Copies of this chain bind each other. A is one copy, B any other.
């Protein structure tokens, strides 16, 4: 049981192209690490490491099925992250709008970026 990943950790897990390749494959069908390695242009060991990271972030589930381990992409954690990011984005923009309307006083002529 891993501690809930922090926001930067979640984003870091999603900040790699190969990891997205893995995820999109797993979003289409459940696959084992070896099966993924057959499809993607990296070694199985590389895949395994990525799956570890994704599993740590709660983005995939693993299920042992005989001699192989089948992974599936898990959307719920992604939705939770999305919700969090949306909240933060809204807060930033709200503050920015407040600052702008606050700076509507005519005695500050700051648009001076033209030489």
* CB-contact partner of A92 in B19, B74, B110, under 8 A: B74
Q: Does A4 contact B (CB under 8 A)?
A: no
- Say whether A27 contacts B78, CB under 8 Å: no
In this complex, what residue of B is CB-closest to A76? B93
* CB-contact partner of A65 in B29, B99, B110, under 8 A: B110
Q: Number of A residues contacting the other chain (C-beta, 8 Å)?
A: 51
Contact flags A8-19 to B (C-beta < 8 A → 1, else 0): 110111111101
User: Contacts of A99 on B, CB cut-off 8 Å?
Assistant: 29-30, 72
User: How many copies of this protein are present in the complex?
Assistant: 2
With known contacts A83-B86, A91-B27, A8–B12 Cβ distance under 8 A: no
User: Contacts of A85 on B, CB cut-off 8 Å?
Assistant: 14, 78-79, 81-82, 85
In whole angstroms, what is the CA distance A81 to B65 when docked?
35
Nearest 5 CB-CB pairings of A with B? A12-B15, A78-B89, A75-B89, A75-B92, A75-B93
